[in-house]
Amino acid sequence: MLKTSIHFPAGFLWGTATASHQVEGGNTNNNWYQWETMGGKIKEGHTSGLACNWWGGKWKDDLDRAAETGQNSHRLSVEWSRIQPTPDRWDEDALEHYRQIIRGMLDRKLVPMVTLHHFTDPLWLTEMGGWETDAVVPLFEAFVKKVVEALKDYVTLWVTINEPNVYIWGGYMGGGFPPGKNDMNLSLQVMANMVRGHAAAYRAIHIIQPDARVGFALNFRDLQPARPAFPPDAWMAGLQSQMYNNTFAGAVKTGKLDAVFKKIAIPEAKGTQDYLGVNYYTGDLVKFDLSAAREMFGRRSTPPGAEMSETGFIANVPEGIFRALHWARQFDVPLMVTENGLEDSDDHLRPQYMVEHLEQVWRAANYNYRVEGYFHWSLVDNFEWERGWTQRFGLWGLDRDTQARIRRPSASLYEAICRENGISYEMVERWAPKALERIFK
């Protein structure tokens, strides 16, 4: 076994990612707050509540932790419902609050990546029909213009929309996200409007800030045939991947939204990305099964032998992140891993998961895939949507009663990786010895 090191390209961005509703606390004017208060929607009846109290100032301590542990970037989102609490009012104090956070990042030498839409919508927009209505596109464009004008002196790296495929599948195909519908036609309508919204945002940002880099973040699910030599499994895995992974991204590449069963021309979207953000967590095997009508006749299962995360939510399939980046090459733009991680309150699997996935990212970079950064999910435990507080993704744990942060061993591992711009045999031997054979074979 070689006692060596692997290194990432010079200038690589090393960071963590957060989202406004998940960390700020006190967001009571959006669709997720409404969803939380409806009852029966969130595990164990949890609510976001104070969250990580970033709106109360805890962002300072958490970003100190990020900077002090070698990170050079951070991805966060801004909350539309704070900035535009009603259709006819902009909250300048909220914008100034975000300016303070962004300035604080720059003071800590953290490159800011700002997400403009991360799952949450203002209640007033929800009451109008949200992303189901074509009116959302100019409304989102106006919001984007307001934010970019306010932050343009500090930010050049923008994410228009986070995981549009998760937003649509959760809210319009599975029902676990608001508005809790299950309607294929509505899902396509929402997808088309999100593509149009992204395109409008892209152009608006570049008019205000020509040197900006604008992309979106897509959740990539690695879907492989359970029986590769059995054509129905391969066909079904390809079909599910087309619908989940390719639809939005393909529309931005070609100007044509191809949802297999329906195609929609959106020519204004063609070529509206400067980079692609890839969010990767896990993968599934897909087996053709006529009894699985609710899964479009493709039953998904965990790859045999894969280690499972604490709540069984994520299988450790590191090869999937290489396949995600290989898939992303088709768009011919630089790539960022904008989210990657797993829930693990006692940190028993996270160090292994981290180094095994990063070794695959390094492999992609060595193949001259244009990978420019990696953002671990997440900096600190936060509110995990329909799963509430039952999952702990943070490098730092959170005591919700006291707001105390608890440093996990993986925070030290990630610090060593960030400072080295790479992974050494000694790091893996110390923090993730089970991964030694896989990485340094």
pLDDT one-digit tens code per residue, 66-93: 999 999 999 999 999 999 999 999 999 9
Query: Span 290-309, mean pLDDT?
Result: 89
Q: What is the mean pLDDT of residues 377-390?
A: 98
Token digits of residue 288: 């053709």
pLDDT band at 263 (very low <50, low <70, confident <90, very high): very high
Place of tokens 């993968």: 283
Q: Taking 70 as the threshold, does the pLDDT of residue 104 lie above it?
A: yes
Q: What's the number of domains the chain is made of? A: 1
Q: How far apart are CA 8 and CA 423, in angstroms?
A: 9
What is the predicted pLDDT for the residue at 1? 67
Q: Give the model's pLDDT for residue 295.
A: 76
Please list the residues that pair with 75 across neighbouring strands.
17, 113
Whole-number percent of the chain with pLDDT over 70: 100
* Concatenated DSSP letters of 357-385: HHHHHHHHHHTT--EEEEEES-SB----G
Domain that holds residue 57: 5-439
Would you state the pLDDT for residue 347? Answer: 98
pLDDT digits (tens, 9 = 90+) for 226-244: 999 999 999 999 999 999 9
Residue 270 pLDDT > 70, yes or no? yes
Summarised one tens digit per residue, pLDDT across range 107-165 is: 999 999 999 999 999 999 999 999 999 999 999 999 999 999 999 999 999 999 999 99
β strands within 240-395, DSSP E: 256-258, 263-265, 276-288, 298-301, 335-339, 371-376
Question: CA-based angle 106:73:405, to the nearest 5?
Answer: 95
Question: Distance (Å, rounded) from C-alpha 17 to C-alpha 382?
Answer: 11
Closest CA relative to residue 203, chosen from 194, 191, 212, 190: 212
For CA atoms 14, 219, 397, 107, the dihedral sign is positive
Crossing angle for the helix pair 184-208 and 247-254, to the nearest 10 degrees: 50
Measure Cα distances from 263 to 1, 81, 317 in Å. Answer: 52, 32, 32
Question: What pLDDT is recorded for position 282?
Answer: 98
The span from the CA of 104 to the CA of 98, in Å, is 10
In this prediction, residue 314 has a pLDDT band, given cuts at 50, 70 and 90, of very high
Task: Supply the pLDDT for residue 291.
Answer: 84
- Average pLDDT along the chain: 97
Residue 15 vs residues 127, 322, 386, 414: alpha-carbon distances, Å: 36, 19, 25, 9
The pLDDT of residue 130 is 98
DSSP state of 395: S
Burial call 141-150: b when 16+ CB within 10 Å, e when fewer: bebbbbbbeb
**Residues 150, 154, 159, CA angle at the centre, nearest 5°?**
80
**Residue 3 confidence (pLDDT) above 90:** no
Tokens coding 410: 């993986």
Query: pLDDT tens, 53-72?
Result: 999 999 999 999 999 999 99
Inter-axis angle of helices 59-68 and 92-107, nearest 10: 20
Q: How far is CA 379 from CA 14, 16, 18, 32, in A?
A: 12, 5, 7, 21
Q: How far apart are the first and last CA of the chain?
A: 5
User: Could you tell me the two tokens for 113?
Assistant: 């990546």
* DSSP summary character for residue 86: B
| Strand-pair category, 422-424 with 5-7 | antiparallel
**Helix, strand and coil in the chain, % to nearest 5:** 45, 20, 35
Mean pLDDT of 251-264: 94
- Strand, coil or helix: 278: strand
CATH number (domain holding residue 204)? 3.20.20.80
| Distance from chain centroid for Cα 361 | 16
CA distance 159 to 75: 9
